[in-house]
Amino acid sequence: MTEERKITSTSFYQFLAEKKLMASRCKKCQALYLPPHPICIKCHGSDMEWVEMKGNGKLAAFTAISVGPTCTIAEGYNRNNPYLVGIVKMDEGPKICARIHGIDPKNPEKIKVGTPVKVEFMEHKEDARNYLVFQTA
Amino acid sequence: MSRKARKLARGVAIVGAGMSKFGAFPDKNSRDLFVEAFIEMTKSVDKGIDIKDIEALYVGNFSSDLFEGQGHVGPIMADWVGLVPRPVTRVEGACASGGISIRDGFIGIVSGLYDIVLVSGVEKMTYLPTERVTDTLAAAADNIYEGCPGFTFPGLYAAMATAYMAKYGATLEDFMRVGIKNHKNGALNPKAQFNKSIKDLMNARIEKTKQKGEPLPAWKDEFDFLKDPQANPTVAWPMKLFDCSPITDGAACLLLVAEDLAKNFTDKPIYIIGSGHGSDHALHEREDMTTIQSARVAAKEAYEMAGVTPQDIQIAEVHDCFTIAELVATEDVGFFKPGGAIKATKEGLTAREGAKPINTSGGLKSKGHPVGASGVGQVLEIWHQMRGTAGPRQVPGKDIRLALSHNVGATGGTCVVHIYERR
C-alpha cells in the first residue's frame, strides 16, 4: 500500500529499492515534486499523494567527476576513472540528481544537454549506498 | 512572494577592517588566524579602538567541527581576542557564513541593541586531505538528494556550467578568462594565496622543465597552458583545476559602529547602505539552473534599501568560488543581462581597468576561499579600494563612492549582498 507511506526521503529510497521512482503530488494544486516534498512549496498545502514516474527524461545538466568524495573513491573512481552525474528533467516535469550510465565519462565534451535517459534500478544491497541511476535511452 | 522595502532605523559604518594572510598554514589553527585578522583590524582604526568598547561579536564559520574537530567556535574566538564575556554568535550559511555575520552585526546596530560590533569569519581547511575536504564541502549541499548519487561541490557548479553552456553558448575559454583575470588581480595582492598570474605560473612551470632538461611544453599563451590536461587537470568537467578556488586557511573581521559614532573612529568611514539576504532551492529544483534566485532576491533588497541601481555600482567583489560562478553572479546582481557576462568578460569590462571592475582582490579564485571567512574578506578589498589604500591594485581613474559585495553559500542556498558608500 504505497499510499500509506509517509512522504519522506526514507520512503523515497524504500520505493527505489522496490524499483519504483516515486514523486509526491499536491492534491490541492497538482504540483509535482521529485524528490518528494511533504508540503507543497507552491500553495503550501500539505495533503500530498505518491505518484509513480514513468522513468523517462532528458539530461538537463551533467558533470564528469575526477576528484570525488571518499564514497566514490571507495567505489573505485579517480582522476583516471571519472564518473558521470547529472540532473535529469523527467517527462512529467520535475528534475532530480542521479548517476548517469551508458555515456563515456572520459569524453564529456561529446555529451549533450537534452540527451534522452531512462531510469535504471540498481540491484539493492542492504549494506551498501543505494542511489538513483539513469541510463541513456 | 514580495516584501515591502524597509527604511533603516539608523545607519551603520565600517570603521576598521583586518584579515589574515590567506593560504595553507600547517602551523596556524582557526584561532591563530582569527587573532591575526583582529590585530590588523585594531591597527586599521584611524583614531583607535578600545577593545573593551566592542559590545558583541558575530563569527561566520562553516565547519570547524569537521575541518578541525572544533565545534562552538564563537566563545573561543571571543576569548582569544579578549572579548569574553561579550555575547558571541557563530553563524553558518556555508560559504556565505561571513556575509551573514556582517548582516547580523548590521541588524544588531540598526535595531539599536548595540553601537559597536565585531563581525568576522574564519575557516581552517587544510588539516584534512583533499578527499575529506571534498566530503566536508559536499555537506553544504543536499546530502540526501545531491550527495548520495555522487555530486560534489565543484560537480554542482560544473552542472550549472553545462546548463549555462547549453543556454548561452559559453565555451571553456569563456570560463578560463575569468580565472586569468582574477589571477592577474591576485598577483597584486600580498594577502592572496596565489599572488601569481596564470602567465607567471606557466612561465615558472616552463622554467622548471628547462632546469630538469625535459622537452619544453608548446604553450603559446595562458589559454594553451589551461587547455593542457597535465597543467590544468579536470576536477569536475567542465571545471578544471584553474576554474576552482583553492582550499584555504584564513580569517577576516570588520568593526561596525552606529553611523553617528563613525567619526569618533575615523574621518573616512565606509557606510553600509544596503543589505540583502535570500535563499534558494537545491539546484535540481530550480526552473532555471543558470541563475541563483537567492542572489537576485538579496540584490533587489540591497538596491532598494540603498536607493541605487546596478549601473551606479563602481566596483564589486562577487562570489567566484568557480569561474562559472562569477559569470552567473554578475548577471544575478544586474550588471549584465542573462548570458551577457560572457561578452562583458571577453571585452574586458570586468578587468581592473574596465568599466565594471569585478574581483580586484583576485577573488576567491586567486586570493583563496576560506569558506566562512570569504564573505568578510571580500569587504576588505572594498574598504581598501574606497579609501584609496589598495596599493598597486588600486582601480585606476575612479573615485569609488559606491561598491557591492555578493557572497553565496553552497550553490545559492544562501546569498548575501551588501552595498557600500563613501561620502
Interface test with A, best of B133, B142, B144, B145 (most A CBs within 10 A): B145
pLDDT value of position B2: 63
Q: Quickly state the pLDDT bin for B4 (edges 50, 70, 90).
A: confident
Higher pLDDT, B5 or B196: B196
At B1 the pLDDT is 53
DSSP-assigned states of every residue in A83-124 = EEEEEEEETTS-EEEEEEESS-TT-GGG--TT-EEEEEPPPP
Which of B148, B232, B322, B324 to mutate to probe the A interface, most A CBs <10 Å? B148
What number of helices (H) and strands (E) belong to chain B? 14, 11
- A43: nearest CA partner in chain B: B1
Quick check: A124 pLDDT over 80?
Answer: no
- Chain B residues with CB under 8 Å of A36 CB are none
A41 contact residues in B (CB cutoff 8 A): 281
Q: How many CB atoms lie within 10 A of CB B271?
A: 18
Q: Write the pLDDT tens digit of every residue in A6-43.
A: 999 999 999 999 999 999 999 999 999 999 999 999 99
Which of the four pLDDT bands, split at 50, 70 and 90, describes residue B258? very high
Band of pLDDT at residue B162, cut at 50, 70 and 90: very high
Residue type, A77: Y
| A1 pLDDT above the threshold of 50 | no
Percentage, residues of chain B above pLDDT 90: 95
Least CA distance to A134: which residue of chain B? B149
- The answer to whether residue B229 neighbours chain A at the CB level (below 8 Å) is no
Within B191-322, residue ranges assigned H as helices are 198-212, 222-227, 293-306
- With CA atoms as reference, the chain B residue closest to A72 would be B150
Per-residue pLDDT, averaged over B273-284, amounts to: 97
Query: Average of pLDDT values for B324-332?
Result: 98
Across the interface, do B149 and A69 touch by the CB < 8 Å criterion?
no
Does the pLDDT at position B316 exceed 60? yes
**DSSP conformation class of B316:** E
pTM over 0.95: yes
The pLDDT of residue B6 is above 90 = no
Check CB contact of B401 with chain A, cutoff 8 Å: no
Cβ contact, residue pair B160, A61, below 8 Å:
yes
Of A66-80, B95-109, B357-371, which gets the smallest average pLDDT? Answer: A66-80
Active site residue B369: yes
Determine the Cα–Cα distance for residues B293 and B332; give it in Å rounded to an integer.
Answer: 8
> Pairing state of beta strands B116-123 and B414-421?
unpaired
Q: Which residue has the cell 526514507?
A: A10
Distance from the A45 Cα atom to the nearest Cα atom in chain B, whole angstroms:
16
Q: How far is B180 from chain A (nearest CA, A)?
A: 22
The mean per-residue pLDDT over the stretch A100-123 comes to: 95
CB–CB of A99 and B285 under 8 A? no
B129 touches chain A (CB under 8 A): no
Gap between the Cα atoms of B33 and B25, Å rounded? 9
Give contacts of A9 with chain B, Cβ < 8 Å. Answer: 144-145
Is B148 tagged catalytic? no
Question: What tens digit of pLDDT does each residue of B45-65 get?
Answer: 999 999 999 999 999 999 999
Domains of chain A, each with CATH number or no CATH:
2-52 (no CATH), 56-136 (2.40.50)
R_g of chain B, CA atoms, integer Å: 20
Mean pLDDT of chain B: 96
Pick the catalytic residue: B183, B277, B319, B369?
B369
B165 touches chain A (CB under 8 A): yes
A39 chain-B contacts, CB cut-off 8 A: none
